Amino acid sequence: MLYGMDEDDDEEKISYPIKQEKKLNIKKVVLVIVAVILAILIIYISFKVSYSILDKNSESNEQEIAKVENVENEPKKSESKKTENVQKDKKKNSENVYEGNHPQIPLHDIEKIKTKFVPQPNENAKQLIKDIYNSEEKQVYLTFDDGPSKDITPQILDVLKANDVKATFFVLGARVELYPDLLKREFNEGHYIANHGYSHQYSKVYESRDTTFQEYVECENSVKNALGNPDYNTYLFRFPGGSNGGKYSSVKAEARELFDSYGIAYTNWNCLTGDAEGKKTKEECIEEMLNTKGNQNSIILLMHDANDKQQTLEALPEIIQYFKNEGYAFKNFYEIFK
């Protein structure tokens, strides 16, 4: 053998490089695996870091949105406070004397309607209404019965608005159901909505004290529905034909006691135009008003706004001017139920 080696030695020399090569291949495989694992770890770590950043950004964005919403809501709160202050000022103004010879109760604007302004019960209402008849103050309550009507009521409202005068409308429930928008207009323009029963059919109204009260309840429901306000109560009733006397005097007396027990006030009048008693012209209506007024200073004037009362519409501007010239304050029943 070359170099004096035996056969076994020669095989060992030849196999050594092969083993070395195998070891080298294993190292390569291990290195590749390690590299792959490292790559996976790097990708995983990168993903986690990115997700964390996105999550923080999302949280930050939500906080920013919340801040923006708070900022946007602040003016609304401020505006709400401002509206509240305006309403307080208006209420304060209603207690003051207005300029000129005919102080007015302020009209109920949209802001007041939104706050669901409604008459408030007054346990002293019955006495306060009685006091009107005995007062020496120059004051006049313009009242209209039997409406609303399609043609006359809108024109009467126009006259009242043009003269900046507030009145009281004793409405019929059946008429309210026919013309709910007119009732809304009466309320929106600051007039007091009072109750005159539902049907105005005397035989039905005065069948008993309970039917009289039922007429009141049915009219109340009609008013609530027309105004879209279940909390609205009139607290004031005018008996068809007056609260005493006549064919149904005994039933009226029983009904008055029932109304008293429920704290519901009622009123008649001490002056009228006679538009429901045969006075067909404005001149006749004005003359009747002056005759029934006499020397009284405090006036509850009865008129009607049914569709056949053209004479009332024609007389109204002159009636208003007469009381203005005499220095009267025009009032409605909101001042008692405020």
Catalytically annotated residue among 102, 145, 191, 305: 145
8 in active site: no
Q: Which of 252, 157, 233, 156 is nearest to 195 (CA)?
A: 233
Partners of 303 in beta bridges: 144
Whether the link from the prior residue into 148 is cis, omega within 30° of 0, is yes
Residue type, 58: S
For residues 138 and 297, what is the distance between their CA atoms, to the nearest angstrom?
A: 5
C-alpha angle 322/327/331, rounded to 5°? 85
**Token pair recorded at residue 134:** 């005995």
Catalytically annotated residue among 102, 108, 191, 304: 304
304 in active site: yes
Q: What are the C-alpha distances in Å from 214 to residues 177, 201, 204, 220, 256?
A: 16, 13, 10, 10, 13
| CB of 305 closer than 8 Å to CB of 147 | yes
239 backbone φψ class: left, alpha, beta (φ>0; ψ -120 to 50):
beta
For residues 100 and 257, what is the distance between their CA atoms, to the nearest angstrom?
A: 41
For residues 185 and 171, what is the distance between their CA atoms, to the nearest angstrom?
A: 13
DSSP 120-142: ---TTHHHHHHHHHH--S-EEEE
Q: How many CB atoms lie within 10 A of CB 299?
A: 24
Give catalytic residue positions: 145, 304
